[in-house]
Amino acid sequence: MASHPLPQFLTSNPSTPSAVASVLDSLASPNVGSQLTEFVDKHDTFRFYPFSDRVEILREARSQSPQEEQPVRSIIACLDGRLPERGLTPLFDLGLYYQVLSEARKQYESLLDPDAWAIGDVLLYGETVTSTQTMLEKNPAFLSKLIPPFVSLATQQLTGRGRGTNVWYSPSGCLQFSLHLRVPLSEFPANKLVFIQYLFALAVSEACREDSVLGVHAGQVKLKWPNDLYAFIGDEKKKIGGILVNTSFMDGKVDIVIGCGLNVLNPPPLGSLSQLSPGQNLSMERIAALIMARFKPFWELFVQERGSFEPFNKLYLDSNQVITLTTTNPPKTVRIVGITPDHGLLRTVPTEKEGGGGFVDIQPDLNSFDFVQDMSHHQASGQPQDDLAAYFKNSVSTVHLYADNFEHDVVKPAFASSHMFFKERPITATFVAIFSLLSFLPVLSFVSVQRSYSTLYASYIFESGTSLFVAVAVVTFALLAMVLACGLALIAFLSFLLFALFVNFFTALFITGLVTFAYLLLRLAMLVREQGSAGVSHWVAEIQDFLLHSPSVNRAYAALQSRSPMHGSDSETIVAQATPASTIAYVKDEK
């Protein structure tokens, strides 16, 4: 296999031949007579080529030497349900994949529109890529414009990702892909997103247990909570797969990217499905198609139930399993009864020999919790223990748990909303931020003056040797004067407040203009340095988008464009402005 990224094929199920065109339309409106399609995002530049150039583009890419940076991702668009020849994708048979996918779906009832494409129908395949997960996660403009569901699959990843900072090793024989989904937050609670990793791990496990995959050996594949898979191979227990889920919030919706790595054909010492059932004719294409087909009804039911995991508890867990909590003193045994419906913790109850009791919700230790290993290390709730060290350890785990939940349910959505507001109205957002900061100054000044006055008055009364009689008289007079002066004080306070707001408004307006002007000058210098004189025109286009970018302006412009026909010769390239961080130039595929 190549040691550097190769072009990818954007394909669709032959039963949905218009899907690829719809994906391209979502990235940019088609313009007649162009010769190149390009989408520039923060992390990558996507360059689309017509199907007719597939052989030349792939041959040229294979002959190139590896480069330290691969700034351009080459994608060959396979319109109208066409698929590349088998010789162009020798390590993955796209025709077989779509055939198995269509056959496997027949046994599952669909809850969606039969005319819409389903999970697995649109596949971006590359023999060698950097990372399927990074391609989607690190390019927010590209991700937000894609029409889900969308699958990116690769035979080899050069920089595959695992959970946290882990790197996913990409050996030969490993099935690896990323699946993009999207749900509206108005119909799907954000705190239910945690269950997606469980749901997809369950779908992968169920696909592996199909008769055409492992058959009688299906029981040797087990789940490892929350999102790993392992297998019993001989006397050893080896990890064969893992799930990674990333989410991003924008425009009232959440984009979900599910990354999956599964060892299918790996030789020892790595564990793989082929070692469990040597007689079965396993293939990457069949396993990938079965996973997509199995996950489709799971996902449809999950969304229909607004993120409830209750319908899947019995499939996911062995509710009769007994585990031991080692953080208690003495350790106690509990029985698994399910998963908490709010934050996806493992719910257990003490066994009869422990005297019963209420729920004990536990969280996994480090990376995962082993369903067949009879112990767990982190208790998220339960009674305080006699062992002070164990009690504080449990308390710390609980605090970390609620902090993580608060970050996931409150902090991240709040930051996402703020980021979306700043992206749509950068100048207004800057003004609001500066005005809010300046508004604290009058309050702090007023508090400081009142505190100083109170301290001085108290010092005069109680430290100057004044008699008690004089002090009482002064206090009485002060109370009467306070009633009479209440109106004047209120007027003075309101006058001070209005004056402060007036000053803050114009100060914030001035600072916002200054910051905007400085940013535009800095941006001009950067563009001229990178692109030379061409950077000036790019800068002017950015200014127009920066100053006029708003939903109402975009709608008005779109309506105006729909009433004004475009004219262009065959040699013209029409460039359309996309988001502030991306520029698109669309090219029609020429056969």
pLDDT at position 408: 59
Confidence of residue 148 (pLDDT cuts 50, 70, 90): very high
pLDDT at position 468: 54
pLDDT at position 474: 66
Which residues touch 442 (CB under 8 Å, ≥6 apart)? 496, 497, 500, 504
Is the same domain home to 81 and 183? yes
Is the same domain home to 207 and 85? yes
pLDDT reading at 85 higher than 80:
yes
Helical residues (DSSP H) of 156-214, grouped into ranges: 195-208
Separation in Å, CA 298 to CA 153, 225, 301, 394, 479: 21, 18, 5, 34, 71
Q: Which of 1-5, 30-34, 471-475 has the highest mean pLDDT?
A: 1-5
383 falls within a domain: no
pLDDT reading at 582 higher than 60:
no
What CATH number does residue 119 fall under?
3.30.930.10
* Euclidean distance between CA atoms 99 and 94, whole angstroms: 9
156 falls within a domain: yes
192 falls within a domain: yes
Last residue of one domain, picked from the residues 371, 405, 439: 371
pLDDT reading at 162 higher than 60:
no
What does the pLDDT average to over 517-537? 80
Tokens at 535, concatenated: 């950077």
Taken in order 477, 480, 484, 488, the sign of the CA dihedral is: positive
Is the same domain home to 32 and 179? yes
Confidence of residue 251 (pLDDT cuts 50, 70, 90): confident
Classify residue 51 by its DSSP letter: G
pLDDT at position 207: 93
pLDDT at position 404: 59
378 falls within a domain: no
Classify residue 372 by its DSSP letter: S
Confidence of residue 338 (pLDDT cuts 50, 70, 90): confident
pLDDT reading at 562 higher than 80:
no
Cβ contact 212:281 at 8 Å = no
pLDDT reading at 385 higher than 80:
no
Lowest average pLDDT, out of 285-299, 480-494, 564-578, goes to 564-578
What does the pLDDT average to over 339-344? 84
pLDDT reading at 589 higher than 50:
no
Cβ contact 118:310 at 8 Å = no
pLDDT reading at 587 higher than 50:
no
Q: How far is CA 442 from the centre of its chain?
A: 41
Is the same domain home to 330 and 452? no
Number of domains in the chain: 3
Is the same domain home to 430 and 337? no
pLDDT at position 29: 55
Q: Is 327 exposed, middle or buried (0-12, 13-18, 19+ CB in 10 A)?
A: buried
Is the same domain home to 247 and 123? yes
SS3 42: coil
Taken in order 107, 111, 112, 114, the sign of the CA dihedral is: positive
Confidence of residue 51 (pLDDT cuts 50, 70, 90): very high
Q: How far is CA 190 from the centre of its chain?
A: 12
pLDDT at position 364: 62
Place of tokens 């350890």: 393
What are residue 376's DSSP bridge partners? 325
412 falls within a domain: no
What does the pLDDT average to over 225-236? 86
* Strands annotated E in 364-505: 369-370, 378-379
pLDDT at position 512: 82
Is the same domain home to 218 and 288? yes
Could you tell me the residue range of the domain that residue 168 belongs to?
8-316
Which residues touch 355 (CB under 8 Å, ≥6 apart)? none
Lowest average pLDDT, out of 34-48, 296-310, 390-404, goes to 390-404
What does the pLDDT average to over 375-401? 47
Spatial CA neighbour of 366 closest among 164, 161, 200: 164
Taken in order 405, 406, 410, 412, the sign of the CA dihedral is: negative
What are residue 9's DSSP bridge partners? 76, 125
**pLDDT greater at residue 463 or residue 426:** 426
- Percentages helix, strand, coil for the chain (3-state, rounded to 5) are 45, 20, 35
pLDDT reading at 586 higher than 80:
no
Lowest average pLDDT, out of 1-5, 88-92, 559-563, goes to 559-563
Is the same domain home to 311 and 338? no
Report the relative pairing of strands 150-157 and 122-129 from DSSP bridges: parallel
554 falls within a domain: no
Separation in Å, CA 349 to CA 359, 369, 373, 471: 5, 17, 17, 67
589 falls within a domain: no
* Euclidean distance between CA atoms 318 and 321, whole angstroms: 6
Is the same domain home to 191 and 264? yes
**pLDDT greater at residue 563 or residue 116:** 116
Tokens at 322, concatenated: 């007994």
pLDDT reading at 354 higher than 80:
no
Is the same domain home to 328 and 310? no
Between vectors from CA 242 to CA 257 and to CA 124, what angle results, nearest 5°? 45
Spatial CA neighbour of 102 closest among 287, 293, 288: 293
Tokens at 175, concatenated: 């099935």
pLDDT reading at 345 higher than 50:
yes
pLDDT reading at 296 higher than 80:
yes
Cβ contact 167:160 at 8 Å = yes
Confidence of residue 409 (pLDDT cuts 50, 70, 90): low
pTM of the prediction?
0.63
What does the mean pLDDT of the chain come to? Answer: 76
Is the same domain home to 70 and 126? yes
What does the pLDDT average to over 497-519? 82
- Give Rg (Cα) of the chain: 31
Which residues touch 578 (CB under 8 Å, ≥6 apart)? 28, 39, 141, 145, 584
534-549 residue pLDDT tens: 778 777 777 766 655 4
577 falls within a domain: no
H helix or E strand, kind and range, residue 521: helix 468-531
What does the pLDDT average to over 504-508? 81
Is the same domain home to 310 and 336? no
**pLDDT greater at residue 489 or residue 24:** 24
What are residue 122's DSSP bridge partners? 12
What does the pLDDT average to over 134-159? 92
What does the pLDDT average to over 146-165? 81
